[in-house]
Structure 1
């Protein structure tokens, strides 16, 4: 990625080109769902007047503008910000990873002694985790009581999970060991998080120790507890031990669920035992566990991975025949492997099919589809899918943007490339070196030492750094 002076210089070049050619921004219509209202003879409460600030805030997409609107709104009225206004703005900023202003807003909430709900802090702990800021999550957790709010085991468990996901198992264990000090009695969720952390580290002995401690402290293991351990053994290829643990689980009164069997089926597939995995899916019903979509997905994924796309599609038909509704993960399996095999147009038909069936694509669906069309150099179709993706409020990765810009430039579609660049600029994303080279070369032509100019700018930026 290019930062500093280089990025600003390229943006300046881009803005000049945009003004010269008079390109317009990408605009997308958002699809709206019609909702029907059931008639009722019961008396209804009169509708409450909508909160004017919240109504306007929902319309603002840019987090910086949201913060600006918040200050302007309450400066121009005689009102004081209330708790719903603070939380709505904080959620919007956190989703956009704009964490710096959040601290100030929290300080204002604390200063005004507004009663707070723990859900606000749980959401922030999760967002800090997604933003790779585990220290912020820890700090906020310990500050919860100072906000006129009761801290419960729920926020305790969310913090443990964030720390484990951010590869901070030792910190998670340290906080876990302070449970009684904070007045908590860990439940199965607390133990499962720590057990899972040890399994992710590959430390089977420590995971078993925590499981034994769970039993010693009279905390009943859940099906999730067993699933974590069975999953570890299955991935390690120790299916015999995994099956023994399954039987032990049943003997101790814990009923396996569809996830348990999906884990074992996946383990069998990893060992090349597809037929055994297929048999297990049908056998699980005899044990009183009805298969779910994810069980079909395991078999589909294995077929597709081995290049048997048509057999994977047959499983979708089998699901429908048995009155299961394929979910987005199911369709994504087909789309992913079709695109990897260069069958982007067939994958697009699957995308249309899933929408007709009432299954909404997610970010991964669109991303795979854009990348798939780029792979076969059908950049016009990739751009159309990108438009649908943005209209659905899904965001592409920077790699997808880069690939599309380079491809459009190579095809001479500079105006379309500029539109994509505008979207990148809105998301504070930058092209990589090859992307900028391709863009400048497409705009300025191959004469005049364009590549040399780009290299010189990069060199200047490196020197300044």
Structure 2
């Protein structure tokens, strides 16, 4: 029974499942039929009436293949059944190579109902117009953008600024950058860095400072690279104040200039003789981890030697060597030249020997500097030994080496040695140059062998093209010293015929020569001739005129010339002031002389012994003992002593005043 019932139940379940299956099959077939018809209806409802984006852009490009925009092109575009959107327009604009065609298409699209350009289409037209440098059309595009109230993204401003800079239109770049700042779009530190970098590169330092001052309050900072280039540029134009401000700002942000910027700054400090500041910067570099290089040390060597701080220069040299730097030739020359030029040749010699010990190959210039240094301090034997040592070390002397020897021989009227040396030069294949012949000419003039000097110019120097204004000046000076001023003047006239222009030295020498001979009128004519010839008188020429005019009693004219000199920007020296003060004192114009003395003191100049004596004597003559006593104090402070006669007069005058 149980088994039979199970069978009946199982059969029933089978029939139910089969029935359900048949029912589902019928429903499914009906549904397929219904869905198929509905699908066709939906497809017809949403079917696109125009081609795809790619097809649309291809069809537009095909029409625009024409090289020139025309009415027919515009009509053909209008007939196309394409849907215009920013993607399609942008693809077309990017495919065009002709900026004018792109511009016309850009305007045509803009005129289509419902179309508005976006960031991408605007970017494409701007890029193409910049590439073709079609700035007239670009200006029209930008005007339309502004008129339509389109808000440009900072990337478009960046593209415009970059394009203007590349084509050298800096004014437009500046206006665009300002527009970007004022537009309200966010300007980043990188924008200021790039723009300030461009301004620095083009030496627009005032503008660079303006934008720098704009960015700092916003919490932005320049990169170490931009700071470094900015510092280098400012140093070149001498704006050290702004450099120091930038360095302070860098210090606050932990930014460190590169070695090039530091070296440029150090060079500026050394040129301004701010050596303590330069050494301070050197120490700061070390603390900040920016190790100085050979250029750093070389720059400071030069500066220290120029202000005669030789012990500091040598100390710095030792520091450089201890740090393991191998000095290059430039560094060696900087220190040795500085020492030799300032009479410290023994120290230079020791450094040179140290370099040889370290197997640093010396140049002929270094040997020349040491040879010249020993000659200047009168060490003839040492100079000769250095020359021999140089040759043994395989360094051949050049024309400068021989000229250094010639200069010493001729200054000391060793003419036989000078002639022999000229012969040796030619035997060794070194041709004497203009300087060589001028040295020999100077030696002959010093020996008062003026005929030989004249013959040297006529027979050798003129033929080789070595006779110049220096040669003529040497001979003219020698003739004037020999009181042969007429011959000197004839040589002066010959200079013009030979195409040699006289200079200030030529005129000054002749003026002095004529004054000495008592030909004051001729001297004055020569001074006027110099001015009319466009040769600006120097302080020596003015001083000569003032001195001899005062000597001949023409003090008023001397005063006029003195003031003319100052008006022309020529600063009087001690000799100029002393010449006029002496003339005024001798003319009993002590009040004017005292005014001149005050002006002289304000300029940091001190009179010579004779001027002090004349001033005190003149003041005593006018019974101004107190003022004379004050001048006496100044005189003693400057290391001068008053002669016995005037000092007794001064003492007596003071006694009378107190009695």
Partner residue in 2 for 1:322: 498
| Range with bigger deviation, 358-367 or 249-258 | 358-367
Partner residue in 2 for 1:279: 455
Superposed counterparts of 1:59-208, under 5 Å: 70=241, 74=245, 78=249, 87-92=267-272, 94=273, 103-104=279-280, 107=283, 128-129=304-305, 131-142=307-318, 152-180=328-356, 184-208=360-384
Distance 1:287 1:196, change over 3 A: farther
Distance 2:406 2:426 in 1: 13
Offset at residue 384 of structure 1 (A): 4.1
Superposed counterparts of 1:30-429, under 5 Å: 47-50=202-205, 70=241, 74=245, 78=249, 87-92=267-272, 94=273, 103-104=279-280, 107=283, 128-129=304-305, 131-142=307-318, 152-180=328-356, 184-285=360-461, 288=464, 290-338=466-514, 340=516, 346-347=522-523, 349-390=525-566, 394-408=570-584, 411-412=588-589, 414=591, 417-418=594-595, 421-422=598-599, 424-425=601-602, 427-429=603-605
Partner residue in 1 for 2:122: none
**Helix, strand or coil: the match of 1:177?**
helix
Offset at residue 177 of structure 1 (A): 0.9
1:145-169 per-residue CA deviation (whole Å, 9 max, x = no partner) reads 899x995323423432332333322
1:187-210 per-residue CA deviation (whole Å, 9 max, x = no partner) reads 221111222233334444433322
1:228-275 per-residue CA deviation (whole Å, 9 max, x = no partner) reads 223333344432332222111101100011121122222222333211
Distance 1:361 1:444 in 2: 37
Distance 1:172 1:273, change over 3 A: same
Distance 1:87 1:300, change over 3 A: same
Distance 1:70 1:262, change over 3 A: same
| Range with bigger deviation, 358-367 or 169-178 | 358-367
Confirm or deny: 8 A CA contact 1:141 1:155 kept in the other structure: no
Partner residue in 2 for 1:26: none
Distance 1:252 1:343, change over 3 A: same
Confirm or deny: 8 A CA contact 2:294 2:331 kept in the other structure: yes
Distance 1:163 1:386 in 2: 38
Gaps of 5+ in 2: 1-166, 171-201, 210-230, 252-256, 639-659
RMSD: 4.7
Distance 2:278 2:396 in 1: 39
Greater helix percent: which structure?
2
Partner residue in 2 for 1:446: 622
Offset at residue 87 of structure 1 (A): 4.4
Confirm or deny: 8 A CA contact 1:342 1:372 kept in the other structure: no
Distance 1:156 1:89, change over 3 A: closer
1:18-41 per-residue CA deviation (whole Å, 9 max, x = no partner) reads xxxxxxxxxxxxxxxxxxxxxxxx
Distance 1:387 1:172, change over 3 A: farther
Distance 1:396 1:176, change over 3 A: farther
Offset at residue 300 of structure 1 (A): 1.2
Distance 1:126 1:306, change over 3 A: farther
Confirm or deny: 8 A CA contact 1:262 1:294 kept in the other structure: yes
Confirm or deny: 8 A CA contact 1:437 1:451 kept in the other structure: no
Distance 1:457 1:337, change over 3 A: same
Offset at residue 132 of structure 1 (A): 4.3
Offset at residue 172 of structure 1 (A): 1.8
Offset at residue 182 of structure 1 (A): 5.9
Distance 2:296 2:519 in 1: 45
Distance 1:460 1:417 in 2: 18
Distance 1:57 1:277 in 2: 49
Distance 1:218 1:77, change over 3 A: closer
Offset at residue 183 of structure 1 (A): 6.1
Distance 1:335 1:117 in 2: 53
- Structure with more relative contact order (C-alpha pairs < 8 Å, separation 6 or more): 1
Larger Rg: 2
Confirm or deny: 8 A CA contact 2:329 2:362 kept in the other structure: yes
Confirm or deny: 8 A CA contact 1:54 1:88 kept in the other structure: no
Partner residue in 2 for 1:27: none
Partner residue in 2 for 1:24: none
Distance 1:113 1:345 in 2: 70
1:428-447 per-residue CA deviation (whole Å, 9 max, x = no partner) reads 33456775676688789833
1:284-308 per-residue CA deviation (whole Å, 9 max, x = no partner) reads 2587453222222222121111112
Confirm or deny: 8 A CA contact 1:312 1:334 kept in the other structure: yes
